[in-house]
Amino acid sequence: MLSQAPRNTFWGAFYILHEITLRMKTWKYLMLFFAILVPLNAQAQSRIERIEPPSWWAGMHDPTLQIMVYGQDLKGYQVSTDYPGVQVVAVHDAFSPNYVFVDLLFHWDVQPGTVGLKLQRSGSPDLQIDYPLNRRRSGSAFRASFTPEDVIYLITPDRFANGLTANDQMPGMPDPYNRTDPFGRHGGDLQGIKEHLDYVKGMGFTALWINPVLENNQLAQSYHGYATTDFYQVDPRFGTNEDFQELSEQAAGQGLKVIMDMIANHCGDRHWWMQDPPFEDWLNYQGHPEITTHRRTVNQDPHASSADREKFSSGWFVTQMPDLNQRNVFMANYIIQNSIWWVEYANLSGIRQDTYSYPDKYFMANWTCRILNEYPNFNIVGEEWVGNPSIVSYWQRGKINQDGYTSCLPSLMDFPLTMALHQALNENSDFGSGWIRIYDVLANDFVYPDPGNLTIFPDNHDMSRILTQVGEDVAKDKLALAFILTTRGIPQIYYGTEILMSNPGTDSHGIIRSDFPGGWQGDRVNAFTGQGLTPEQKDMQSFIRTLLQWRQTNDAVRSGKLMHYAPENGVYVYFRYVDDQQVMVVLNKNNSPVKLDLSRFGERLQGIQEANDIISGQVMHFVDQLEIKPMQPLILELMK
C-alpha cells in the first residue's frame, strides 16, 4: 500500500517532527526539532540508485530516449553532455523529489560508446551517469518474427524444467520454494529450458512463448510471473538477464524464435516504485485501489457509459496488481521503451501482450505503432479473451472501425475459435451444434483484416487443458490438435499437451500448470526421453511430432488459403492450398466409420489421383469414396 508520508529520509524526519511540534506546541520540542534537523540535513546527500532503461542503442529509428533516473533528492538537477551526437533536450522534475526524467536526442550517425551525463545543481555536489550506448546487431531493425509458418510451444518457466537448483530459493525473496504446493515455486528456470531446446526442436516446434520471466518478488503465487516488480530484471529464480539473452541466442541456433510475454497493464504491488512513485497519477486509483469490472466489451460498445469505460480500464486487475496509468506520458514512454529494450537486448522474435484491452486503448495503439516503427516485420499477439470475432478484430492492424480507432497490432489470440472448438467437440453433431460452431466462427473471418495471422490454440496456461476440456477423451483431443495444426492461423500448443497432461476434476491454475515430467532430477517419468510414459502418452507425442515435422515441409498448410465445406453428419472437411500443393483434412467425430462421397468436393479434387496419408504414412489411391475410421482425423497431401 502507498504511504502518504514522504519516503526521503530527510523529509520523512521533517514530517514526523513537524507533526510532533504541532501537537505538543512546546518550545522544548521545537529545540529538539532543530537539534535533529541540522545533522540529518547534512547527511541527506543526493545519489542515484537506478537508471532506466539501463542502456540504449545507437542508430534506432526513433532518435529520442527518455531516461528515468531514481535515487535520493534529485529534483532540480540540470543535465548536460559533451558526447558527440547526443543532445539533452529537456530535464523533467517529478512530483517525488527522488526522480528526474532526462530527454535525449540522438543524431542519426551517433557512435556507440559511453555517454557521460553530468548532473549539476547549485549548492550540491555534481553527479555523473556513464550511460552505455551500444552497437545494434546487424539487421536488428528488419528482424524476422513469428508467422503462420511457425508453431509456438508455450512454456510456464517455473514448471518446465529445473536446470539449476541453486536458484530455487533466493535471499530476499519471500515466496518459498515448495514443490508440493500447486501455487508455490517449483524451481523451473531458464537453464532448464536451455537444456531442453533440442527436445522442443525435435518435436517440430519453431517458436517459444515463455510466460513472463521478469522479477516477481511477491509474497505468494509469484510463479506465474504476471506481477512484475522490476521491468528490467529477470527474476533471479529463473536466472539472470544474461541467461535470458543466452537462451534466446541458443534457441535461434536451433531455429526457434523467442516470444516474450509482456504486461503493460499492471505491475506487482511489491514493485520497487510503489514505495515512492514519481507522480501522483503514476497508477490508476493510486492510494485507493478499485478493481476492474473485467467488462471487456466497453471498448467497442457504442452504448457504454463513461463510468463503465473508466472503471474497466483504470480498475486494478486484482488487489496485488496495481494498474499502470499509461495516460501519464512518462509512464507511457517508460513502458514503450521497456518493450523495445527487451527486443533489442534479448534479440526477440515477437511479443505476446497480456490483457491487451485493459490498458488505455490509445496508449496500446501508440505502443504497437512505436514498436512496429522500429521493427517493421515484427509480430505481436494481443490477448483479448472474448468469444466474439467482432470485438477481437477491432484491435487488428488495418481494421476500419466505426469509431475511427486504429492500431498497429498484427496478431490476436483467437479466443472465439478456441471456444468454438471446445463446443464443437463436446456437443452432439446436429444442424446447429457440433462442427458447425467452428464453421460459423471461421465464416466470420471477413471482419479481420488478416485472419491468417491470428494465433490459434486448443488451450493455454489460463484455462483447463484441452484433454480435460473434452472430458479426458484422447480421441477428441487428437481431433482438436489435428484441427489446430491444419487450419488457418499460427498454432500455439501448451507444454505437456503432447503427453496428455490434464487437470481432471479441478480448474486450479496451479494444477493446470503442473510440472513437466523429466524436468526435475529424480522424476520417475521423463517425457524428454520417453522413459516411463504410457503407450497412450507416447502415441500422442508421436502424433504431434509427426504433424509438426510434416507441417514444416508443406507450404499449403503453413501459408495456403483455406476452403471449408459445411459440416455434414458429424464430418468436417476443409482444404488448405497454394498453387502447386493441396491438403485435405477430414475430421470424423462419429463413433462409427464414415464413407465420404467425394463428388461434393470436386471443386478441389479435380485431377487428384493419389494422396499421402500424413498420420499413417500410407499412399492411397483416390476413388469416389473415402472411408474414415471412427473419431479420427484424416490429413491428406493430395497429388495429381
195 binds Ca ion (CB under 5 A): no
Residue 191 Cβ vs Ca ion, minimum distance, rounded to whole Å: 7
Residues 6+ apart with CB under 8 A from 602: none
- List, in sequence order, every residue forming a beta bridge with 350; answer none if it has no partner: 259
Q: Segment contacting Ca ion (CB under 5 A): 158-166, 318-326, 433-441, 561-569? A: 158-166
Coil vs helix vs strand at 259: strand
CB of 239 to Ca ion, least distance (A): 8
- Shortest approach of Ca ion to residue 186 CB, angstroms? 8
CB closer to Ca ion out of 187 and 225: 187
Closer Cβ to Ca ion, 224 or 422, answer by number = 224
Total count of residues recorded for the chain = 640
Residue 236 · residue 215 · CB < 8 Å: yes
C-beta of 155 vs 628, nearer to Ca ion: 155
Q: Which three cell numbers stand for residue 206?
A: 519453431
Residue closer to Ca ion (CB basis): 189 or 269: 189
Q: With beta carbons less than 8 A apart as the criterion, state whether 351 and 259 touch.
A: yes
**In whole angstroms, how close is the CB of 167 to Ca ion at the nearest point?**
5
Angle between helix axes 535-551 and 474-484 (nearest 10 degrees) is 10
- Nearest approach, Cβ of 211 to Ca ion (angstroms)? 15
Q: How far is the CB of 132 from Ca ion (least distance, A)?
A: 29
Of 14-22, 155-163, 174-182, 345-353: span binding Ca ion (CB under 5 A)? 155-163
Strands of 312-429 (E only): list them. 350-353, 380-382, 411-412
Scan residues 294-333 and list those touching Ca ion (CB under 5 A): none
- Known catalytic residue at 354: yes
Cβ-contact 338, 330 below 8 angstroms: no
Select the span of 166-174, 208-216, 283-291, 434-442 touching Ca ion (CB under 5 A): 166-174
Q: Which is nearer to Ca ion, 158 or 414 (CB)?
A: 158
Order of strands across the sheet that contains 380-382: 411-412, 380-382, 350-353, 257-262, 207-210, 152-155, 490-494, 455-456
- The 3-state DSSP class for residue 219 equals coil
Identity of the residue, 180 or 606, whose beta carbon is nearer to Ca ion in the bound complex:
180
What totals of helices (H) and strands (E) does the chain contain, helices first?
17, 26
Question: Which one from 354, 384, 515, 637 is the annotated catalytic residue?
Answer: 354
Report if residue 222 touches Ca ion, rule: CB under 5 A: no
162 binds Ca ion, rule: CB under 5 A: yes
Strand partners, 323: 266
Q: Name the segment binding Ca ion (CB under 5 A); options: 184-192, 384-392, 420-428, 614-622.
A: 184-192
Q: 243, 383, 459, 498: which one is catalytic? A: 383
Give residues with Cβ within 8 angstroms of 579, minimum separation 6: none
Query: Using the rule CB under 5 A, is 189 a contact of Ca ion?
Result: yes
Give the bridge partners for 574, in sequence order. Answer: 564, 585
Binding mask 51-80 for Ca ion (x = CB under 5 A): ------------------------------
Instruction: Tell me which residue of 140, 119, 132, 109 sits closest to 52, measured CA to CA.
Output: 132
Pairing of the two strands 619-621 and 113-120: unpaired
Comparison of 278 and 519: residue with beta carbon closer to Ca ion: 519
Q: Which residues does residue 104 pair with via DSSP β-bridges, in sequence order?
A: 65, 88
- Round to whole Å and give the CA distance between 188 and 167: 9
Which one, 162 or 292, has the nearer CB to Ca ion? Answer: 162
Name the residue nearer to Ca ion (CB basis): 162 or 393.
162
Longest dimension (CA), the chain: 106
Q: Is 384 a catalytic residue?
A: no
168 is a contact residue toward Ca ion (CB under 5 A): yes
Beta bridge partners of 530: none
Nearer to Ca ion, 214 or 635 (CB): 214
CA distance 322 to 273: 11
Min CB(153)–Ca ion separation in Å: 20
- Of the candidate spans 159-167, 312-320, 349-357, 370-378, the one that interacts with Ca ion by CB under 5 A turns out to be 159-167
Q: What residues form DSSP beta bridges with 117?
A: 129
Q: Which stretch binds Ca ion (CB under 5 A): 76-84, 189-197, 502-510, 620-628?
A: 189-197
Cell of 425: 467437440
Q: Which residues neighbour 242 within 8 Å (Cβ) at sequence distance 6 or greater?
A: none
**Which CB sits closer to Ca ion, 164 or 490?**
164
Alpha-carbon span 179 to 521, nearest angstrom: 13
Question: Which residues have C-beta within 8 Å of that of residue 481, sequence separation ≥ 6?
Answer: 458, 466, 493, 497, 543, 544, 547
Q: What angle do CA 283, 289, 290 make, to 5 degrees?
A: 115
CA distance 273 to 50: 11
167 binds Ca ion (CB under 5 A): yes
The closest of 213, 212, 211, 221 to 175, measured between CA atoms, is 221
CB of 189 to Ca ion, least distance (A): 4
State the nearest-atom distance from the C-beta of 321 to Ca ion, in Å.
Answer: 24
The answer to whether residue 184 forms part of the interface with Ca ion (CB under 5 A) is no
Q: Among residues 149 and 168, whose Cβ is nearest to Ca ion?
A: 168
- What's the distance, CA 115 to chain centroid? 32
The count of chain residues that interact with Ca ion, using the rule CB under 5 A, is 6
Backbone phi, psi, residue 366, to 5°? -65, -45
Distance CA 602, CA 507 (A): 45
CB of 214 vs Ca ion, minimal distance in Å: 16
CB of 518 to Ca ion, least distance (A): 15
For 311, the grid coordinates are 472503471
CA distances from 558 to 248, 335, 453, 488, 490 (A): 24, 33, 11, 8, 8
Cβ at position 237, least distance to Ca ion in Å = 6
Where along the sequence are the contacts to Ca ion (CB under 5 A)?
A: 162, 164, 167-168, 187, 189
The catalytic site residues sit at 354, 383
